Amino acid sequence: MSLEELGDDAFDRLRARRLLAITGMTPMNAIAAMLNTALTLAVLWNLVEPWQAVLWAGSVVLLMAMAVQSWYGISRKPAPPQKAPARVENRAVIHAGLLALLWASPPLLLYDIASTEQQIFITAITSGLICAGGFALYTLPSASLTFVAILGSASAITLYRAGFEISPLLLLLLVVYMTILTTSIVHAAGVFRAQVLTDLTSEHQKQVISLLLNDFEQSTADVLWEADEELKLQRVSPKLEELFAIRKELLDDQSFLKLIRQSHAQLPSEQTELADSKAEEISTYFTMGRAFRDFEIPVWINRKLCWWSITATPTPDMQWRGVISDVTETHQARQQIWQLAHEDSVTRLANRRWFQTELQSSIQRSLSHKEQIFALLSIDLDRFKNVNDTFGHDIGDKLLKIIAGRLKGNTRPADLVARTGGDEFAVILRQVDSQQQAIDIANRIVETLEQPCRIGSLTVTVGASIGLAFIPDDGQRQELLLKHADLALYRAKENGRGQVVRFAPQMAVTANQLYRIEQSLRRAVSNGELRLHYQPQRHLASGHFTCSEVLARWSDPVLGSISPATFIKVAEDTGIIHALGKQILQQACLHARLMPAGMTLAVNLSPVQLASPSIVDDIVGIIQSHHVPFTKIELEITESALLDDSYSVQDKLQQLRELGVRIALDDFGTGYSSLSYLRRFSFDKIKIDQSFVRDLPNDPATQVIVKGMIDIARSMKMQVVAEGIEDEATLRTLTELGCDIGQGFHIFKPIAPEQLLETLVRAT
């Protein structure tokens, strides 16, 4: 709004603000003026008659005394004046002009007869006064520019009359200096005026809003409420007093949210959990400073359950305004129908049925309004199963309610949040401004869900992985869109969890490829098409072959040769690994019977296999059925198999070891707690990962690490195998470090069983 739109008194209020800003600096300006006057008298005393000097100084003191008197009068008033007429501003301009004329006297009247030192003093004090006086008065630009113009003109006249050789250049510098100073004063005055105008506009709007709110409250059953940034109620009306059933003096400055929570303490037990969830949800809105509308929440008022519909909006000055409507009757009828048809019974979020209906509606709207952007978030909680298994389903349900509240608090009122499974949620983001906004919301959800959850005396922490798909870019059919969001979710979990991953077409291509591999692998396992290769391990001191690692190989007639890293991962993800593992062990046992004495076969065991309750019985049964001594078989496990001991992995390994099966820890050194596993379980072998072996001859630091591994293993009576030996220099370095056994292409490449037997026969 402009000053004219604000009314006739707006100019008076602007003038008051300007003059108050100047008056506030009067004490400091007066001290500076007295000091300048004293210095001027001291330096220029011999140039004028004493009476002239006293007259000049007295005039300056008189003008400053008038300013101090004005300041003192204002400071004594209970409140500063809010308005100032034009004549007050005119007096200030005249005052500034007179003061400038007094300070213009020394350069105009004395410069020509002054000594060089005195001329320097006059120049310095005049320049300082131009700058200091101009900015001291900048809020009143007419006074500031008058002061600067008089002193600047006096300076120009003095320079011209001085007749210096460089006077033209000095005059030019003075013009430039005065132009910059004048521009700065005008700009600063404009900023001050704009700020005052903003304040006046805000005050005017508050007055208008207050009048409108009073009219509104008188004409409706709804109740208005106001609160400060700490949610303490302000200006409590009779209607609000009646709604809370609490006297006005007890409501003033009470926390709006605290009053609601206090009412929850009196709710029946069957309503407590829902009320707490709602309170946490609305608290999240307030904490984030987000507006919300028609938020329904239960309260206990006058010994009965009521439902309020609350609307709230934060104001620019960090306060809150809103409306409360009593919707108890409407809510009771509507809630019964809604809960049966649309809500999840635990979280009160949308259930799968309602979610699917809304997803289809969002797809149709996106197709008919192509400029609108919709997004689907597929959310899976991380570590939720651990909480459920450890503390029970009751704690799990309470945790789900907290998660639901956080999901609602980090989405917008227009968005749909649903629970679609046990620990699975979905969010439909309706009409986001951009794809980046959807990504930002998803990231905010991940960050929020990682925060600890307090449930009674327990503190539990979960997390979330999110797959993100956009509607309709990533699918125009519901089943395809859900599939793509789930593919993105799978990739997020595969990448380490706690991430947001957007669907990319390549994911679908990869998923189709993996599906083809899965189907072919099932057929290959069923038909016994996988073949084994062996990579011998050699004792570095004696040169004898001591063991061969069993390596699975698969070449499909259609897909071609598939790497073990690929098909083993597919087997683990699909459960095929159990049948595949049994088949590999059976083939290894057939070949083990043909191995010479002292030769063992090392079979890799997947963490998924070790999680099976029957793994020990399966392994023992296969070995015994082939009449192979247990000591002929080694089982290689990775550290990841030991990370989660909920499946009693160490107990299973100990049972096998007691029968004579040798246990080796593969990829030693790559995990964060390898040494702790050596303390907790006595392995027969450790295999140093090839990442430590690869650059061993040229890396002294790695040599120290490997030497430490060897010494630790030896002290614990474990053999050490170094894998990935590719050249003679590496072999020689490992031998010097005292490594027991080596494996790698330099020692022997993987070979078929027939070639292995021939090799062993020749070696003996």
Q: How many Å apart are CA 183 and CA 115, to the nearest integer?
A: 34
- The answer to whether residues 444 and 410 touch, using CB atoms and an 8 Å cutoff, is yes
Q: Single out the residue in 271, 303, 337 at which a domain terminates.
A: 337
567-608 confidence digits (pLDDT tens): 999 999 899 999 999 999 999 999 998 888 889 999 999 989
- Report the 3 state secondary structure along 58-90: HHHHHHHHHHHHHHHHHHCCCCCCCCCCHHHHH
Please count the structural domains in the chain. 4
Does 214 reside within a domain? no
Range in 283-287, 377-381, 637-641 with the lowest mean pLDDT: 637-641
Domain boundary among 276, 302, 337: 337
Q: Is the pLDDT score of 515 beyond 50?
A: yes
Q: What predicted TM-score, i.e. pTM, was given to this entire model?
A: 0.52
Q: How confident is the model at residue 4 (pLDDT cuts 50, 70, 90)?
A: low
**Which tops the pLDDT comparison, 705 or 369?**
705
pLDDT reported for residue 199: 73
- Answer yes or no: do 621 and 742 share one domain: yes
Q: What is the pLDDT of residue 219?
A: 46
Q: Average pLDDT for residues 736-754, to the nearest whole number?
A: 92
590 dihedral zone (left: phi>0; alpha: psi -120 to 50; beta): alpha
User: Above pLDDT 70, what percent of the chain?
Assistant: 93
Which value, to the nearest 10 degrees, does the dihedral of the CA atoms of residues 665, 670, 676, 682 take? 10
233 inside domain: yes
Q: Tell me how far apart the alpha carbons of residues 147 and 542 are, in angstroms, rounded to a whole number.
A: 103
Please state whether 421 falls in left (phi above 0), alpha (psi between -120 and 50) or beta: beta
**537 and 596 co-located in one domain:** yes
Query: Mean pLDDT in the chain?
Result: 86
Mean local confidence (pLDDT), 485-504: 91
Residues above pLDDT 90, as percent of the chain: 34
Same domain, 737 and 755: yes
- Which stretch of 248-257, 515-524, 635-644, 649-658 has the lowest confidence by average pLDDT? 635-644
- Please give the pLDDT value at position 338: 65
Regarding predicted confidence, which is higher, 466 or 193?
466
Whether the per-residue pLDDT at 9 is higher than 70: the answer is no
Are residues 122 and 179 part of one domain? yes
Phi, psi of 105, rounded to the nearest 5 degrees:
-60, -50
Average pLDDT over residues 618-622: 95
Alpha carbons 646 and 32: distance in angstroms, whole number? 81
The predicted model gives 173-181 an average pLDDT of 87
Nearest to 534 by CA among 746, 751, 366, 351: 751
- Averaged pLDDT, 712-734: 92
Q: Which residues pair with 296 in a beta bridge?
A: 309
Q: Report the C-alpha gap between 100 and 151 in whole angstroms.
A: 6
* Helix (H) or strand (E) run with residue 223 in it: strand 223-227
Question: Could you tell me the two tokens for 648?
Answer: 């009693």
| CA angle at 116 for the pair 114 and 117, rounded to the nearest 5° | 95
Q: Are residues 596 and 491 in the same domain?
A: no
CA distance 310 to 297: 8
Strand partners, 204: none
Residue written as tokens 């709602």?
278
Concatenating the DSSP letter of every residue in 609-678 gives: HHTSTTHHHHHHHHHHHTT--GGGEEEEE-THHHH-GGG-HHHHHHHHHHHT-EEEEEEETSSTTHHHHH
Confidence check: pLDDT of 764 > 60: no
Q: Are residues 593 and 462 in the same domain?
A: no
Which of left, alpha, beta for 46 (phi over 0: left; psi -120 to 50: alpha)?
alpha
Establish if 211 belongs to a structural domain.
Answer: no
Tokens coding 510: 């990869």
Residue 672 predicted with pLDDT over 60 = no
- Using CA atoms, how far apart are residues 489 and 468, in angstroms rounded to an integer? 7
The answer to which of 327-341, 370-384, 656-670 has the lowest mean pLDDT is 327-341
pLDDT in tens, 19-60: 777 777 878 888 888 888 888 888 888 888 888 888 988 888
For residue 616, what pLDDT is reported? 94
- Per-residue pLDDT band for 673 (boundaries 50, 70, 90) equals very low
CATH number of the domain where residue 633 is located: 3.20.20.450
Q: Please, what's the b/e burial string for 527-557 (b: 16 or more CB within 10 A of its CB; e: otherwise)?
A: eeebebbbbbbbebeeeebbbbbbbbebebe
Please check whether residues 150 and 253 belong to one and the same domain: no
For the segment 58-80, the average pLDDT, to the nearest whole number, is 81
Higher pLDDT residue, 642 or 506?
506
Of the residues 470, 503, 536, the one at which a domain ends: 503
User: Which residues on neighbouring strands pair with residue 429, listed in sequence order?
Assistant: 375
At 434-467, the pLDDT tens digits run: 999 999 999 999 999 999 999 988 899 999 999 9
Nearest to 686 by CA among 656, 711, 713: 713
536, β-bridge pairs: 548
362, 428 in Cβ contact below 8 A?
yes
CATH code of residue 411: 3.30.70.270
Query: 139 and 108, same structural domain?
Result: yes
Q: Is residue 521 part of a domain?
A: no
The residue ranking higher by pLDDT, 214 or 271, is: 271
Which residues are CB-contacts of 471 (< 8 A; sequence separation ≥ 6)?
362, 363, 366, 373, 374, 375, 376, 481
Distance (Å, whole) CA 187 – CA 517:
73
pLDDT at 571: 93
pLDDT for res 486: 93
Distance CA 258, CA 276 (A): 12
Query: In which band, very low, low, confident or very high, does the pLDDT at 676 lie, cut at 50, 70 and 90?
Result: low
Using the predicted structure, report yes or no on whether residue 736 has a pLDDT greater than 80: yes
Domain span including residue 139: 3-200
Rounded average pLDDT over 153-168: 84
- What pLDDT, on a 0 to 100 scale, did the predictor assign at position 11? 67
pLDDT recorded at residue 409: 92
Q: Is 680 exposed, middle or buried (0-12, 13-18, 19+ CB in 10 A)?
A: exposed
Residue 547, pLDDT above cutoff 90: yes
| 441 within some domain | yes
Is the domain of 251 the same as that of 313? yes
CA pair distance 548, 533, nearest whole angstrom: 9
Same domain, 159 and 256: no
In a domain, 432, yes or no: yes
722 forms beta bridges with: 688, 742
pLDDT band at 535; cut points 50, 70, 90: very high
694 and 568 co-located in one domain: yes
What b/e sequence results for 701-738 when a residue is b if at least 16 CB atoms lie within 10 Å of its CB, and e otherwise? ebbeebeebbebbeeeebbbbbbbbeeeebbebbeebe
What does the block give as tokens for 350?
């949308």
215 within some domain: no
322 lies in the same domain as 251: yes
H or E element at residue 375: strand 373-382
C-alpha separations of 54 from 38, 41, 191 in Å: 11, 9, 40
Max CA distance (Å), the chain: 131
* CA neighbor of 739 nearest in space, from 690, 671, 670, 675: 690
667 vs 606, which has greater pLDDT? 606
Domain of 270: which CATH number?
A: 3.30.450.20
> Is residue 710 domain-resident?
yes
